[in-house]
């Protein structure tokens, strides 16, 4: 038997497949309700837009009330740019002994000191808090009292520095940049103030505030 010889297919609704009138009613009501809601919403939008466009001075009022919001990233970038000129790198230098090897005999040798050599043994970060070159840093950065300290500013200048005070409890230390005093043509002291960091009030800090850590000026 071929496909052309098959008997015709007559489909009839049964009780299980025949849609009930209430279902058709719900579907039609939902469809027309959606259309009515979309139409009324669009009509309300255009009516409101037309009304607001006719209110005199509304645009100026909105402009005055709007305050641009600064993102956290923009605030951090601004803070870093403001503070970075006053951030310095502190290099620790010290005369260290130089040893040489010498032989007592062909089978044994010892070491003996052959003078000293100036070497950089560490570095740290500080920031200038006054225009005359007072620097605040950590005590552990300038721990060695026998070492010498050199300050490199953010613009590439190099100065010797003297430790004025050390606080082991707070891990803080104060240095003073040593600069050569120059006199101008009028006999006045010609010295350009260093950029400084403005200190805040720690009593106003709140738990959960953002803290920005800025590294040394050379890194």
Write down the pLDDT at residue 68. 46
Distance CA 113, CA 101 (A): 9
Does residue 101 register a pLDDT over 70? yes
Q: 106 falls in which pLDDT band (50, 70, 90)?
A: confident
Write down the pLDDT at residue 180. 64
Write down the pLDDT at residue 142. 92
pLDDT > 70: percent of the chain: 64
Q: 219 falls in which pLDDT band (50, 70, 90)?
A: very low
Q: Who wins on pLDDT, 39 or 163?
A: 163
Identify the bridge partners of residue 123 per DSSP, sorted by sequence position: 91
Does residue 179 register a pLDDT over 90? no
Does residue 176 register a pLDDT over 80? yes
Distance CA 80, CA 214 (A): 7
Does residue 161 register a pLDDT over 60? yes
Interval 143-170 mean pLDDT: 91
Identify the bridge partners of residue 161 per DSSP, sorted by sequence position: 149, 177
Interval 162-180 mean pLDDT: 90
- Indicate left, alpha or beta for 156 from its phi (over 0: left) and psi (-120 to 50: alpha): left
**What pLDDT, in 10s, does the model give residues 25-83?**
776 667 667 677 766 767 766 676 676 666 665 555 555 554 545 688 888 888 888 99
If one looks up domain 77-92+122-190 in CATH, what number appears? 2.40.10.10
Q: Who wins on pLDDT, 169 or 68?
A: 169
Residue among 155, 151, 159 at smallest CA distance from 181: 159
């Amino acid at each position: 038997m071929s496909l052309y010889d098959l008997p015709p297919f007559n489909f009839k609704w049964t009780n299980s497949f025949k849609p009930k009138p209430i279902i058709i009613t719900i579907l039609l009501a939902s469809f027309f309700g959606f259309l009515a809601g979309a139409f009324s919403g669009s009509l309300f939008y255009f009516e409101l837009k037309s009304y607001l466009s006719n209110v005199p001075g509304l645009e100026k009022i909105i402009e005055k009330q709007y305050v641009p919001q600064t993102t956290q990233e923009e605030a951090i970038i601004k803070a870093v740019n403001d503070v970075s000129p006053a951030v310095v790198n502190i290099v620790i230098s010290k005369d260290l002994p130089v040893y040489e090897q010498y032989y007592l005999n062909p089978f044994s040798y010892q070491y003996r000191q052959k003078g000293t050599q100036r070497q950089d043994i560490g570095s740290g970060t500080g920031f200038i808090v006054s225009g005359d070159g007072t620097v605040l840093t950590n005590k552990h950065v300038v721990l060695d009292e026998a070492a010498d300290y050199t300050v490199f500013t953010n613009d590439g200048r190099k100065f010797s520095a003297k430790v004025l005070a050390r606080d082991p409890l707070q891990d803080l230390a104060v240095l003073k940049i040593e600069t050569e005093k120059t006199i101008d043509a009028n006999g006045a002291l010609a010295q350009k103030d260093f950029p400084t960091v403005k200190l805040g009030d720690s009593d106003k800090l709140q738990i959960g505030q953002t803290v920005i850590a800025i590294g040394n000026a050379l890194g």
